[in-house]
Amino acid sequence: MQIGSCTRYLPPYSICAVTGLTPPTLPLKDYVNSACAGTINSEKNKPRSWKAGSERNMRLCSTTDSQHGPPCRNSAACFLDLEQETEVEEEAKGAHLESAAEFRGPKLPKRRWDQMTTTDFRSLAENGIETIAVLPVSATEQHGPHLPCSVDANINEGILERALELLDPRLPVTVLPEQRIGKSNEHSAFPGTLSLSAETLTNLWLDIGDSVYRAGVRKLVLFNSHGGQPQVMDIVARELRVRHGMLAVALSWFGFGLPDGAVSRHEQLHGIHGGEIETSMMLHLRPGLVRMRLAEDFVPSSVELCERFRLLRPEGGVGFGWMAQDLHPSGAMGNAAAATPEKGRLLVEHAASRLAELLREVDAFPLSALRGAGGEPAGAEAATLNGFVESRERAAATGLNGGGCG
């Protein structure tokens, strides 16, 4: 995997950010379609100046400060200059997101898609469960002389397993079989790399998405751990929205940012493949597969390029197409010799906690927010097929009704 610098992550309550509405106090399925979701003129609800540089703001987008690199060009929140919630606000919102599970009762029969039966899926639809399917996508490719070709798959599995542990067991999340071969032709000069063309990979993921839709599932999260294929994910997510009115979320673990102080800014910029970051994570997750005696500081050519050019570089706001050998003859980039298991643990915990938070937000996101060409909710058919019945009265009965304009 080459680690990208751009956050590819559904911003918290991004629809509210775009429309100017304030986030609701519970995940009602139609809050976006209501006349308003609370008072929008009061001083406390106005957008505030976003403080760049805070690690917590990585949930919205990358910043241009010394910690987080260039901004994401694909996130509306990046351009709206919104401030991250305070800890009190964040904890309150988290409590409301978790409360959605209270409405459901029993947990899914299995967390793994392929361990459920066809009658399990039918039962979920009949009982109005809005299941979230997670499709792990990774790669099998060279990672230098010290790491196995399974790095991206191992990291994906480790983060996802930890995130599932952090979730309420009643949250309806099920994990599809991991796709361990991706678009890795930038590493094709090195034996061991397996790669699919962009066209093949796009069609593969679309076919899986079609199958997920046929099972009655309308929310799909593509969780990626390889920096060479986010563009393919974006195309697939958009196409599934167009075809089926699905909420298809495309994200990479490195889009969540890194915990403050875990690795240097220099390493974040240049250690993009088999460096300190990935080697540390592997020392934490799969230490038996790491050959530290062969780890060294693989200084990539990007360091020199950054000194010579102000704008042109392999990765970032302006990047060029590169092959791994262009950056280092070993195929690795970054200071792998500085890796430690403890750094790896911090990196995995950070990514897992963000992933768990995202899954709660995907659960709270109303399909009615996705609208058809005529303005009608694109998710209406999906809600009907899933047997979904709006729960306004049930929410009011529990005392969790966020209220409206009245």
User: Is 96 among the domain residues?
Assistant: no
User: Is 167 among the domain residues?
Assistant: yes
Does pTM top 0.75 for this prediction? no
Give the number of other CB atoms < 10 A from CB of residue 308.
Answer: 8
Name the residue with higher pLDDT: 268 or 129: 268
User: Is 124 among the domain residues?
Assistant: yes
Confidence of residue 2 (pLDDT cuts 50, 70, 90): low
| CATH number, residue 317 | 3.40.50.10310
Give the number of other CB atoms < 10 A from CB of residue 348.
Answer: 21
Expressed as residue numbers, the domain containing 174 is 111-386
User: Is 85 among the domain residues?
Assistant: no
User: Is 353 among the domain residues?
Assistant: yes
User: Is 83 among the domain residues?
Assistant: no
Each residue of 290-341: pLDDT tens digit? Answer: 999 999 999 999 999 999 998 988 887 788 899 999 999 999 999 999 999 9
User: Is 401 among the domain residues?
Assistant: no
Each residue of 59-93: pLDDT tens digit? Answer: 333 333 333 333 343 333 333 333 344 444 455 45
E strand or H helix at 96: helix 87-99
The number of folded domains in the chain is 1
User: Is 286 among the domain residues?
Assistant: yes
Range 47-50, long-range pairs (CB < 8 A, 24+ positions): 47/80, 47/81, 47/82, 47/83, 48/82, 48/83, 49/81, 49/83, 50/81, 50/82, 50/83, 50/84
Each residue of 220-237: pLDDT tens digit? Answer: 999 999 999 999 999 999
Contact present, 284 and 341 (Cβ < 8 Å) = yes
Contact present, 374 and 116 (Cβ < 8 Å) = no
